[in-house]
Structure 1
Amino acid sequence: MPKLKKGLIMPTPEEDAAINAGIAADPDAYELGAQEFKQLRKVGRPRAAQAKVQLTVRYDQEVVDAFKSSGPGWQSRMNDALRDWLRDHRARDLVQKT
């Protein structure tokens, strides 16, 4: 098998032919036509009403562990906790005086 970048291994021509023969023999396999392919839409999570910003921050390990231990959605819960904190504190409290 020929190797490509990043460990990807491509099938040999013989293996590729066997794969394609298996697909052709499968009565449940269906190949989309050009028109059907054009009609496909992306699926996934809908766009959020308010876009989020990706950034890199550093938190104490115990803080991250506590949020992660609450299961999937921990980043959203961390965001909600920060939003709650902002509601309870005034903007001037965030600015350090130099």
Structure 2
Amino acid sequence: MKTTRRTGSTFERAEAAFKAATTKPVEPAAVPRATTVPEGKEMVSIRLDNAVLAHFQEDGPGWQDRINAALRKAAGLDGE
């Protein structure tokens, strides 16, 4: 008895269905943002005198922003 090999059409349909169900969808391309570079922040480690840190922490939360503002002013960046 001769065995015939199937053409695979059923197999191909099953494989296509499996791939469609398991393949990650392609994410749409990112929308271009404004041409100006947004200002970002970067986490750094810095050593400060205890008195300097206490001065900025006196007023409670937001002390990191106050230190950043003071550094921007000292660097001449507060007008940007």
* TM-score scaled by length of structure 1: 0.38
Higher percent of residues as helix: 1
Higher relative contact order (CA 8 A, sep 6+): 2
**Over alpha carbons, which structure has the higher Rg?**
2
